[in-house]
Chain A
Amino acid sequence: MIALLGSVLVASVVGSLHCVGMCGPLLGLVTAPAGRVRLPVAGAIRGAVAHGLGRGLGYALLGMLAGSLGMAIDLGGARVGLQRTAVIMAGGSMILIGVVGLLHAAGVRSRWRPRFPLATAMVSWVVRRSAATTPRLRGLGLGMATVLIPCGWLHVFVITAAGTGSPGAGAAVMVAFWLGTMPAMLVFGASIQRLGGRVRAQLPWAMSTIAIAVGVYTLTMRTVVDPEPGRASTGEADVPLSERGAPCH
């Protein structure tokens, strides 16, 4: 489990510049609600800290949900005689996302352009409702609502969390992901543009490669240590399943 969390953390750090670019500007909705006059510095800091914590809390809940889903998939798979269904699906999905990302970066065009009006409407509702509250509440609410934004990079880790097949482990994966985004968020805030063009140009390639690497790692590292049927695929081979609280069949 530590190895998984470590690799999630490293992957998250490398890709965290994307998070800064995407979520950083949303901090403006906390510090300057509805385009009004900016908050004083202390209020803005309180709001930003609450936003960070809200994101962490939101990710943890999302991870827990994904882990539960993974557990359900594992249970369902076991009923039809399939082993480690969640982890295989997770690893496969991540590799797929990575490959699609690489193809996009290489210039292969696609006609599929999904829209997520519901997600936008839900986050917008949170922003409107929280505009009149304190910066702390607003930050917390908006931070939690960012999990609703359809971000492919976030989804890579949500799938990883689902692959753990455990609500606790799923939450831990997402907390590790959140921790990995923090250094870049703290350093760059809302200004990814401060980063040099050469670094930014490499980001789509780096993120896709990481998604594939995490997928491969999920499929291999976490399944090699699976000495006997009935043990979950978290790599902790020497701990009996019953003592881990993980799903069994």
Chain B
Amino acid sequence: MSLSSPVGCTHCGLPVAQARREDGVDAWFCCHGCRTAHALIVEHGLESFYRQAGADERRAAATGDGPRPSYDDLDRARFVEAHTTVTAPGEREATLGIEGMHCAACIWLLEKLPRVVPGVVEARVDWRRASLRVRWQTEHTSLAAIAEAVSGLGYRPHPEAASGRERHGQTDHRQLVSLGIAFAAAGNNMLIALSLYLGMFLMMAEPVVQLLRGASCVVGMVSLLGPGRVFFVGAWAAWRSRTPHMDLPVALGLAVGGVAGLVNTVTGQGEVYFDTLSALVFLLLLGRFIQARQQRRAAALVEVLYSVTPRTARRVVDGEVLEVPALTLEPGDWVQVRAGEVVPADGTVLRGRSAVDHKVLTGESRPCTVEPGASLAAGAINLRAALTVRVDATGEDTRMGRILADVEPSAGPAAQVVRLADRIGGWFVVTVVIAAVVTLVGWLVLDPTVAVDHAVALLIVACPCALALATPLAISVAIGRAARAQILIKGGDVLQRLATPGVLWLDKTGTLTQGCMSVLQWDGDATALAWVTALQRHSSHPVARALVEYGATRGHHGRPTVTDVDQSMRGGIEGRVDGHRVLVGNAPFVEGRVTGPLPPVVLRAAMQMVARVVSPVFVAVDGQVVAVAGVGDPLRPEAASVVGQLQERGWEVGILSGDHPDVVAHVGRALGLSAARCHGGLLPRDKVAYVRQRDGGPSTVMVGDGVNDGAALAAATVGIAVREGAESGLDAAPVYLGSPGLAGLVELVDGSRSTLRTIRRNFAVSLAYNAVSIGLAAFGLIGPLTAAVLMPLSSLSVVGMSLALRWRHASP
């Protein structure tokens, strides 16, 4: 290394003055103390400290104390080709990672980018990934110009390479350093204030008083211009983007106090305020830090991921199995998945054979066999034997993680209530600033000595942050809670729409019914069932499968000899079982192949079945009808109760089905639905037409399976996919019910109402807090320090109330 280049002390890392460097040695020290301490550390075998310290240093360097970066590379043709997409002629879209976002107000600010950069069409922040999706007109601006503007607003944009967690980690690190400096400044300024206070009693000499006031001013300025700089940067960015932002009143408060303190320090008269200001900066940063962490925890995708994947995994290290948090797994790790456990990450089977259930992902309920070399997806359940799996992808990079990335508030359109909060927030800041000016002027008239204190207190105590947090946080928490109940929701607007009753259309097959044929009734000769079971094993028809399953449940596992099977005819099957000629089929099929009349018991049963919209399947042995089986798709056991509960909550429930209208009408009657709301014989486009009528209120909800009802799900105000896996379900609709049955529907509706209630309560609390606290500050009843303590408390109370949101499990 050249001696002219800057080097750090081998021990403490501080710069080494050139004069202290020695030629021909590998270690440099900034002072003799460090040389001695280094010798001690080495002598006692603690060199590993320096490796750790080096990592810290590299991290510090990576988090940017270097020169301001250039963003020109973002406009290079190769980058543009690889990392941006054309959304419309002359428009492109890209995602930038953003460092430095610390609260809800930053989201407001960054989403106002179209106001700052002409040519930017839309900017959407993804808080969880700490990224900004931006769409711009290529004729008017470029990605580099946008990144430059984002940087000018006080954030660090970069191509989205690091994960959201890393970026948040870097922001946390920076905030912690600021917090540390603010703490040291506040602590020392408090000591100086104490000295000054005691000096009043001890008749401290005037030069000493002035010296201490000067010292307080210096430490206060360090705090204001160091860690407190973040408020001024935020306020300036707010000013530039013409977005009233919570940093504006805080920065005004700090600026008013700082200028007044500086003037008083120079003139040697009046309060210097710097002890209060330093404490304010520290408390405000502390509150903001806690709030950001809480908020992120609530909105974290990992919470949603944990609903389908385990929190811990068994990592195999040198043959030893260690239980570790699933988040710490990395590609290449080996994990053990025991029978009955959920696979924690995407991977490849290395050892063991087992059966695995991938239902949550694909909807396929039949287990598939896996052996070494087979791929496994996170969220799959290992059913039989322990497997050793090599991890290929973890967390957000897994198949399930990528699907669930859509399950977040920012993925869908913003709920109306969120937009309302945005609008109120803007006016709120303006109102607060006006109130502060009135307070300052009023108190200057009444008692000038306290005017600055009261105005600063008012600016500090007002907390638009609580308003800004009230909605997105409650929505994030609700989505997380729903995911735990296996209800996956894309976008917060869904919750708002489901909170108000409207019309709810249900598909019949597979939604209200179980979606597969089964034998509901058997009348006639029971001994024939064994032969029927044996014969139907030769067919793959759904009715045949239902009969085989029915026979198996009644103990007919034997294998009578079956010969001469003929299933080429429409409507039934024929064969010879243990020497008897057996026919199974519908009435027209059996009619022409039997000789005698129908036994009365069979005839009566068949008529009952037709009345109940169950298909009769006749069984004839040696030319005589001996039994009849009623085959149909049964209603889900909880269907009637769920429909009843939805109706109690004010929803107009109806059925849209492709089945025969008589069948649909019958099902509707069984569920207690009005005939006018039960529509059968519909083609997919007919379903879409019904869904679009919107005659029952603001919301029209369609519940169906993503494959057959895709169009109707998309046309509805809210589409709810059931049955198939999360992969295709969430593709077709913004809501996917992963739990079997319909009970999740009531849960979803109740949860949505409860979410909206929480949002309103959050709003009410934050508005009431601001009204009361601003009033108290204006009348001089609270000081700046109390204000600084109260401000984060209001945000935290909103966080607390949102976290308390319950997602009740409805009884089926």
The residues of A with any CB-CB pair to B shorter than 8 Å are 2-3, 6-7, 9-10, 13, 16-18, 20-26, 28-29, 32-35, 101, 103-105, 107-110, 113-114, 116, 119-120, 123-124, 127, 149-154, 179-180, 183-184, 187-188, 190-198, 200-201, 203-204, 221, 225, 235
Contact = CB atoms under 8 A, between A and B. Distances in A.
Given A197-B61, A200-B8, 9 more contacts: A6-B211, A28-B49, A32-B46, A104-B18, A107-B18, A110-B19, A150-B33, A183-B187, A192-B14
6 contacts: A29-B46, A105-B17, A123-B36, A124-B40, A203-B15, A204-B30
A193 B39 contact: no
B195 A6 contact: yes
Contact of A25 (B12, B17, B176): B12
B205 interface: yes
Given A7-B215, A29-B40, A203 B14 contact: yes
Nearest to B6: A201
Contact of B33 (A22, A32, A188, A193): A22
A194 B33 contact: no
A53 to B, nearest CB: 18
B28 to A, nearest CB: 12
A169 B189 CA distance: 23
Contact of A150 (B32, B49, B60, B188): B32
Given A7-B211, A21-B13, A104-B17, A149 B36 contact: yes
B558 interface: no
A226 B45 CA distance: 54
Nearest to B12: A21
Contacts of A154: 33
Contacts of B211: 3, 6-7, 221
Nearest to A113: B22
A197 B187 CA distance: 24
Interface stretch (B156-164, B177-185, B504-512, B629-637): B177-185
A16 B183 CA distance: 14
A104 to B, nearest CB: 4
Contacts of B56: 191, 193-194
B61 A153 contact: no
Nearest to A128: B44
Per CB-CB distance, the 8 closest pairs between chain A and chain B, nearest first, are A21-B12, A35-B45, A151-B33, A187-B180, A3-B208, A104-B17, A183-B184, A193-B56
A187 B184 contact: yes
B748 interface: no
A152 B34 CA distance: 10
B9 interface: yes
B30 A35 contact: no
B191 interface: yes
Interface core residue of A21, A104, A123 (most chain B CB under 10 Å): A21
Interface residues of B, number: 60
Interface in B169-213: 173, 176-177, 180-181, 183-184, 187-188, 191-192, 195, 198-199, 202, 204-205, 207-208, 211-212
Contacts of B173: 194
Nearest to B218: A10
B36 A120 contact: yes
B208 A192 contact: no
B20 interface: yes
A28 B202 contact: no
Contacts of B30: 18, 21, 204
Contacts of B219: 10, 13
Interface in B520-539: none
Given A28-B41, A34-B44, A193-B56, A6 B192 contact: yes
Given A22-B34, A108-B19, A187-B183, A120 B40 contact: yes
B188 A183 contact: yes
B204 A2 contact: yes
A149 B33 contact: yes
Contacts of A187: 180-181, 183-184
B65 A204 contact: no
A194 B54 CA distance: 10
A201 B61 CA distance: 13
A183 B43 CA distance: 29
A127 B40 contact: yes
B57 interface: yes
Interface core residue of B44, B204, B207 (most chain A CB under 10 Å): B44
B15 A200 contact: yes
Contacts of B9: 21
A34 B219 CA distance: 39
A26 B40 contact: yes
A191 to B, nearest CB: 5
B37 interface: yes
B47 to A, nearest CB: 9
A29 B219 CA distance: 33
A18 B14 contact: yes
Contacts of B6: 201
B720 to A, nearest CB: 49
Interface of B: 6, 8-9, 11-15, 17-20, 22, 30-34, 36-37, 39-41, 43-46, 49, 53-54, 56-57, 60-61, 65-66, 173, 176-177, 180-181, 183-184, 187-188, 191-192, 195, 198-199, 202, 204-205, 207-208, 211-212, 215, 218-219
A153 B215 contact: no
B40 A123 contact: yes
Nearest to A188: B180
A23 B37 contact: yes
Contact of B65 (A34, A149, A198): A198
Contact of A180 (B12, B44, B188): B188
A13 B184 contact: yes
Given A123-B40, A152-B33, A195 B177 contact: yes
Nearest to B53: A193
Nearest to A142: B40
Contacts of B31: 18, 22, 151-153
A13 B177 contact: no
Contacts of A188: 180
Contacts of A18: 12, 14, 30-31
A141 B208 CA distance: 37
B188 A204 contact: no
Contacts of A203: 14-15
Contacts of A22: 11-12, 31, 33-34, 37
A219 to B, nearest CB: 15
Contacts of B14: 17-18, 21, 192, 200, 203-204
Contacts of B19: 103-104, 107-110
Contacts of A153: 31, 33
Contacts of B8: 200
A85 to B, nearest CB: 24
B44 A35 contact: yes
Contacts of A32: 46
Contacts of B44: 29, 33-35, 124, 127
Contacts of A149: 33, 36-37
A152 B32 contact: yes
Nearest to A185: B184
Contacts of A116: 32, 36
Contacts of A10: 188, 192, 215, 218-219
Interface core residue of A23, A149, A150 (most chain B CB under 10 Å): A149
Given A6-B212, A26-B41, A29-B41, A21 B191 contact: no
Given A10-B192, A26-B40, A151-B33, A2 B12 contact: no
A137 B325 CA distance: 37
A116 B11 CA distance: 17
Contacts of A107: 17-19
Nearest to B34: A22
B25 to A, nearest CB: 11
Contact of B11 (A25, A114, A120): A25
A140 B8 CA distance: 30
A7 B19 CA distance: 29
A137 B674 CA distance: 84
Nearest to A154: B33
